[in-house]
Structure 1
Amino acid sequence: MGSFSVKRKHLYAQGFTLVEMVTVILILGILVVGVSSFIIFGTRMFVESSTVDQVLSQSRFALERMTRELRSALPNSVRLNGDNLTYQCIEFVPTEASTSYLAMPIAPSAAALSGTVMVDNLSSKLAVNQYAWIYPLTERDVYDAAAQKRAQINSMSTLANQMTLTFTANVRFADASPRQRIYFASAPVSYCVEKAPAANELTLTRYTGYGLVASQPAPKDMGSGVLMAQGIANALTSSADLPFILTPSSLVNNAMVQLQPRFNVNGETLQYRHQVQVINVP
């Protein structure tokens, strides 16, 4: 009798056991925690570095602009004021042009409506309503019309290398310049470190267009300004920590402005110490 064998096919159900699933979940959880921590740390570093870079960029831009404008300031036009609590402002008149005058109504001569200057490439720099100064020795000479050191231009006419300036009213300048220098500018500029509205920080704001005033105005009297920098942390109540320090000019020294704003960013302090010399050659 022959023999035969029966082959049985067993169907095995395929899958994971509970132990395997729990093990995989634990491993994936550990990986997710590690990767997310790395991503969060990297993101935080990026945000903090971006914030620092932004503060550095805006502060450098603001100081560079202040420096350039101060270097071109009208002689003896720089002045400071503040209330030792909420603001400190530095004000000056940026010079737009200068040249030598040939004929001007200067005391003791009679007042006149016009004067003559050398052209010296002034055509593109002079404009109607600009002011002309001759020999400003003090801030009063710059800002107070009663000092008789400035006149406002009404019109101009050029002939050859000379330009005739017609003023808005008869004028007689109080003093002659030893070098016959005459300066031209339109409006003063103020940079103010002040408390930001509804915020516990100081900001740097640039004001202009408010006109020449005998007494240096406060920020509230200058209209709306342009925000230049934020996050300033100087103590306005301390004379040693003021953002601006002015050393007035003398017979042997030019005026010196020290810019030392201090910035707080991400718990770190950054302070600039920059000196700007304002040439005193009236």
Structure 2
Amino acid sequence: MNNRFSGLKARSQNLGFTLVEMVTVIIILGILVVGVSSFVILGTRIFIESTSVDQVLSQSRFAIERMTRELRNALPNSIRVKTSPLSYQCIEFIPIKSSASYLELPIAPNVAASSGLIMLPSTAIDESDQMVVYPLTPTQIYGGTATGSEGHIFDIKQVTGNDVEFDRAVRFAQASPQQRYFMVNGAVSYCFLASGEVRRYGGYNLTSAQPTPSQMGTGVLMAENVTNNLQNQPAISYTPGTLINNAVVQLSPLFEVNGQSFQYQHQVQVINVP
């Protein structure tokens, strides 16, 4: 009996781990945890960086595509570019809201009149719209509205059927060879800022001098991470149209994120037929 109890006691004393075994297990587990955590951290870092790059790529593609579509719908000869090398570079233009042919308008050298006869465009004409006929230079558009009785752009008072009425007696300075008129409603600007942002501005009045970003409000953020040196590496280059060639806007924004950079070389042709 005593021998049996002494055997059980001996076996019970041999159960469990020694201190050396516990330390060894802890060391092995520590090595495994460090290895796994390093792998997880590396994978997480790669995911975050690739997500950031993909986000910038998506923003840049959206901004370039939006600019391209709007520029292609710009009023002929309404594009102008302004650069402050240390602050911003902006391209301004007037989107065409609608267009059609006129049948009879007061055009020099005829006398001024307060009404005319037009064919209606597919898009309804609003009383806040302005009518443009044969614009040849930005000055005729931005500086010629006006208060005077002769110009290339005038406010619309109302349209009744095919009759268009102005708020006073006016006459357009030149006739369009195709008897074409355009309806517009304000200008749009895209600005590449020294802070790395691309912003779109709209809803402001036409002015003879191209406005600065601070004069146009806060704008809408379109993209970030632009790193162009606006003095030596402008994001926008503009070649005005001629009688032979359409106007061309060259977009060359340089984007950088997480040490990776990519640059667009994108040309937009703007129809130059007023």
- TM-score past 0.5 threshold: yes
In the alignment, structure 1 residue 271 sits paired with structure 2 residue 270: no
Give the number of equivalent residue pairs: 265
CA contact (8 A) 2:97 2:123 kept: no
After superposition, residues 91-106 of structure 1 pair within 5 angstroms as: 91-106=92-107
Cα offset for 1:187? 0.7
**Secondary structure, in 3 states, of the residue corresponding to 1:176?**
coil
CA contact (8 A) 2:98 2:122 kept: no
The residue aligned with 2:76 is 75
CA distance in 1, matches of 2:126, 2:167: 13
> Aligned-pair RMSD on alpha carbons?
1.3
The residue aligned with 2:4 is 8
The residue aligned with 1:216 is 210
Runs of 4+ in structure 1 over 6 Å off: none
Letter of the 2:227 partner, please give it. A
Q: What is the identity percentage for the equivalent residue pairs of Structure 1 and Structure 2?
A: 52
The residue aligned with 1:152 is 155
The residue aligned with 1:64 is 65
Taking structure 1 as the reference length, what is the TM-score of the superposition?
0.91
In the alignment, structure 1 residue 188 sits paired with structure 2 residue 187: yes
The residue aligned with 1:34 is 35
Query: Which structure 1 segments of 5+ residues have no match?
Result: 197-201
Cα offset for 1:215? 1.2
In the alignment, structure 1 residue 177 sits paired with structure 2 residue 173: no
Letter of the 1:207 partner, please give it. Y
CA distance in 1, matches of 2:181, 2:87: 37
**Secondary structure, in 3 states, of the residue corresponding to 1:20?**
helix
In the alignment, structure 1 residue 253 sits paired with structure 2 residue 210: no
CA distance in 2, matches of 1:51, 1:248: 37
Cα offset for 1:141? 1.5
CA distance in 2, matches of 1:110, 1:151: 16
Taking structure 2 as the reference length, what is the TM-score of the superposition?
0.93
CA distance in 2, matches of 1:88, 1:6: 100
CA distance in 2, matches of 1:122, 1:189: 19
CA distance in 1, matches of 2:169, 2:2: 131
Post-superposition Cα deviations, 1:127-159, rounded to whole Å, max 9, x if no partner, equal 11111100001111111126700111111112x
Post-superposition Cα deviations, 1:216-256, rounded to whole Å, max 9, x if no partner, equal 11111112211111110000121xx1000001111101100
Post-superposition Cα deviations, 1:156-187, rounded to whole Å, max 9, x if no partner, equal 112xxxx2111222211000000000011101
Cα offset for 1:7? 3.9
Identify the range of structure 1 (92-101 vs 210-219) with the bigger mean alpha-carbon deviation: 210-219
The residue aligned with 1:54 is 55
Letter of the 1:33 partner, please give it. V
Equivalent of 1:230, from 203, 224, 230? 224
